[in-house]
Amino acid sequence: MTQPTIGLIGLGTMGAMLALNIAEKGFPIAVFNRTTATTQKFHAEADDLAPRITPCDSLPALVAAIAKPRAIILMVPAGAAVDEQIAALRPLLDADDLIIDAGNANFHDTNRRAAEAAASGTRFLGIGVSGGEEGARHGPSIMGGGEAADWARVEPVLSAISAKYEGQPCATYMGQAGAGHFVKTVHNGIEYADMQMIAEAYGVMRDGLMMNASDCGITFDQWNAGPLQSYLIEISAKVSLAEDPKTGAAMLDVILDRAGQKGTGRWTAIEAQHLSAPIPVIEAAVAARNMSAQLDTRKEGEAIFGAAPQHIAPGAITREDLESALIAGKILCYTQGFALLAAAKPAFGWDLPLPAVAHVWREGCIIRSSMLNDMSIALAEDPARNLMFAPFFTELLKSSHGSLRKVVSLAMASGLPVPALAAALSYFDIMRTGRSTANMIQAQRDFFGAHGFERFDAPGAHHGPWGNH
Ligand code: 6PG
């Protein structure tokens, strides 16, 4: 066997799957896990890939097993564990050995680690990897950040293991330092929003239209053959149609309505606030997850105020209306997500390649969808244009925003919460209003703080005739 030029630390689910993927694509790999039994078990179960895998029982053994210049992927939990691993590994490495953090790192941490690497003359890449366990094993979407030369060194391996869209690898260099992890963070924010809007459509079907889980599943399945075709709609159909082996009930009906989270959606919302980039659909989705977790408070609220009526008159909302509403919501959500990516330029200096972002999201990642291909085409035509102003999406929005309004207004009138869809509708209405109500805000600010305002009829800063109140 040729000596590995790549190593991997951390054989949890994602790390193990990534290592098998790398070995399968023909790259010998050395692996290490802090529990040696895990390393041995992994190697023993690697079947015909085992000859390409070198199991190592210590960090020095791992380093010794890899040919120079080395590349070592870290697949350890994001946060302090990454810093600890880097601190333990660095003294064992040569200056041109490359450490690659492939976990779900906070991009601010990646920026810091890249700066520390640069200061110490060592090499570091941060790559966002999306696609869950299945993606890691058979083809994730990969978003790279760091020095372009370091990316170029490992690009052949990362492209080989990545998902392919019509033969094109879904692995792209996004920019310096934390750029790859920033793109992955925005991916996850959009993931939250896509999931929340689907959950809201499910809520309208379940509680408004009184559809059972299997009818919802059939509906999702039908939508998956149209403009909404996507991994998340596909799995929504599957989970809706699944039965609980224990009770025979629909799986969805035995799952507690309290959503978990690891925090990347929250990071997207926090960052958007820092950058003054409006992403209300994603923020609504993050808030909805947080509210879902407040199960006891929700129960108390229902006991005090009573549940809202929720039923919608038969036929008032059709499945086609809901499909169209989701199409509009999705366009508006992605418009916000791509605008957030663009907003990183002044703050971080990243000129993120938006068409390439849409390219790598077309396959492998959790938000993969046919619409992302249309987005990649629209962004390639004009990366600086607001996505909803691209002719393809303008037409789609013109034909779908009426359904979004109908679904949101009827759901709200019935007391069915649809926060992300409602946020999408408000965003749409604000962004097509040439004259807003912010003149009132400006007058108030000038009244209480003499902050000044602009006038329609004269340039410069002005003050109102507020006197001494
Ligand atoms: C992906 C996913 C992945 C993971 C998130 C889920 O792109 O593969 O986004 O990163 O599923 O950790 O995040 P929450 O636990 O916050 O839902």
Class of domain 185-430: mainly alpha
Tens-digit pLDDT profile for residues 234-252: 999 999 999 999 999 999 9
Pocket test for ligand 1, best of 181, 184, 258, 262 (most atoms within 8 A of CB): 262
Residue 311 main-chain phi, psi, to 5 deg: -65, 140
CA of 188 to the centre of ligand 1 (A): 7
Per-residue pLDDT for 309 more than 90?
no
Is residue 1 scored above 70 in pLDDT? no
Q: Is 367 in the pocket of ligand 1 (CB under 6 A)?
A: no
The pLDDT of residue 319: 96
- How confident is the prediction for the chain on average, in pLDDT? 96
pLDDT tens across 129-175, in order? 999 999 999 999 999 999 999 999 999 999 999 999 999 999 999 99
Q: Looking at the predicted structure, is the pLDDT value of residue 455 above 80?
A: yes
Domain chopping of the chain, boundaries: 6-177, 185-430
- Ligand 1 in contact with 292 (CB < 6 A)? no
**Is 299 one of the annotated active-site residues of the chain?**
no
Segment 398-434, tens digit of pLDDT: 999 999 999 999 999 999 999 999 999 999 999 999 9
Catalytic residue among 147, 191, 200, 323: 191
Assign residue 112 a region (left: φ > 0; alpha: ψ between -120 and 50; beta: otherwise).
Answer: alpha
Q: How far is the CA of 311 from the centre of ligand 1 (A)?
A: 33
Contacts of 422 (CB under 8 A, 6+ apart): 284, 408, 412
Pocket test for ligand 1, best of 75, 104, 127 (most atoms within 8 A of CB): 104
* pLDDT above 70 for 468: no
Give pLDDT tens digits for 385-407: 999 999 999 999 999 999 999 99
> What pLDDT score does 310 carry?
84
Q: Is 191 in the pocket of ligand 1 (CB under 6 A)?
A: yes
> CA 380, CA 382: separation in Å to the nearest integer?
5
Active site residue 191: yes
pLDDT value of position 467? 83
Q: Does domain 6-177 have CATH number 3.40.50.720?
A: yes
* pLDDT tens per residue across span 57-109: 999 999 999 999 999 999 999 999 999 999 999 999 999 999 999 999 999 99
- Ligand 1 contact via 278 beta carbon (within 6 Å): no
Q: Where are the alpha helices (DSSP H) in 66-178?
A: 80-89, 107-119, 132-138, 148-161
Please return the burial class of 292, using the count of CB atoms within 10 Å of its CB with bins 0-12, 13-18 and 19+: middle
pLDDT in tens, 9-65: 999 999 999 999 999 999 999 999 999 999 999 999 999 999 999 999 999 999 999
Q: Closest Cα partner for 74 from 105, 40, 111?
A: 105
Average pLDDT value for residue range 191-220: 97
Q: What pLDDT shows up at residue 2? A: 84
pLDDT of amino acid 28? 97
What is the number of the ligand 1 atom nearest to the C-alpha of 191? 9
Residue nearest to ligand 1 atom 12, measured at CA: 262
Task: Decide if pLDDT at 193 tops 70.
Answer: yes
Mean pLDDT calculated for residue range 185-189: 98
Q: Which atom of ligand 1 is least distant from the CA of 131?
A: 8
